[in-house]
């Protein structure tokens, strides 16, 4: 599963955002306001501070879902209700970018291992192969904590639709694809407590993961 690079425009915008964040006062509210919203598949960042304006402008939400994780338990949107969550898309037999993404996501897990308000969701893009027992073995091999990180399998169509239409997991053209086309992305998505997208990161780059961790901390009340 070879990755696709984040578009240069997005990288430049994220760099600008990092500079803006560095200049913000360190109070919790100010740090949260410095993390942008993403309302469309183009991943154009929107900075808003007025809650009423946020409610009016940011209309996109992650849809409801229901899949099984590595423990065999059904995981729904209730698992991330009023929590920050980090999402990515992978498959256990991937020989290239997935192991690197998983390793870097483990640093996110370990950074918040004692923080119940943060969850990680990894959706299999080959759910017909990634059974619950296979996810269990993968979780054990990679040091996944069941209480913090859910490796999810289920209907291919449901996973692909959620990835492309809710998480905007690929490039802008990904929004128009259907569930018959293989999902192929190295993006990691940050979602806030109201299921609004707040960040997109290259899951193979340590600096992006560092910024992801900083953004999560900024969103925590």
The annotation places the binding site at 94, 98, 184
Q: Output the CA–CA distances (angstroms, integers) from residue 148 to 9, 16, 60, in the order listed.
A: 32, 31, 25
Feature table: binding site for Cu cation: 94, 98, 184
Q: CA-to-CA distance for 118 and 220, rounded, in angstroms? A: 9
Phi, psi at residue 113, to the nearest 5°? -65, -25
* Burial classification of residue 191, based on how many CB atoms lie within 10 Å of its CB (0-12 exposed, 13-18 middle, 19 or more buried): buried
Q: H or E stretch including 161?
A: helix 156-161
């992006």: which residue's tokens? 208
Q: Nearest-5° angle of CA 141, CA 142, CA 144? A: 110
């Amino acid at each position: 599963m070879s990755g696709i690079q984040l578009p240069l425009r997005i990288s430049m915008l994220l760099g600008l955002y990092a500079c803006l964040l560095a200049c913000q006062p360190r109070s919790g509210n100010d740090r949260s306001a410095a993390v942008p919203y993403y309302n469309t598949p183009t991943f154009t960042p929107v900075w808003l501070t007025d809650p009423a304006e946020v409610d009016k402008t940011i209309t996109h939400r992650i849809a409801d879902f229901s899949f099984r994780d590595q423990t065999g338990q059904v995981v729904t949107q209730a698992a991330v209700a009023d929590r920050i969550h980090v999402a990515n898309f992978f498959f256990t037999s991937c020989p290239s970018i997935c192991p690197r993404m998983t390793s870097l996501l483990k640093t996110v897990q370990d950074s918040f291992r004692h923080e119940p308000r943060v969850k990680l969701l990894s959706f299999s893009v080959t759910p017909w192969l990634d059974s619950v027992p296979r996810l269990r073995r993968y979780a054990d091999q990679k040091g996944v904590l069941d209480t913090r990180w859910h490796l999810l399998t289920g209907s291919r169509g449901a996973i692909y639709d959620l990835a492309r239409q809710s998480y905007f997991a690929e490039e802008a053209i990904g929004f128009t694809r259907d569930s018959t086309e293989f999902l192929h992305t190295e993006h990691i998505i940050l979602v806030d407590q109201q299921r609004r997208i707040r960040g997109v990161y290259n899951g193979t780059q340590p600096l992006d993961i560092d910024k992801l961790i900083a953004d999560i901390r900024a969103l925590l009340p």
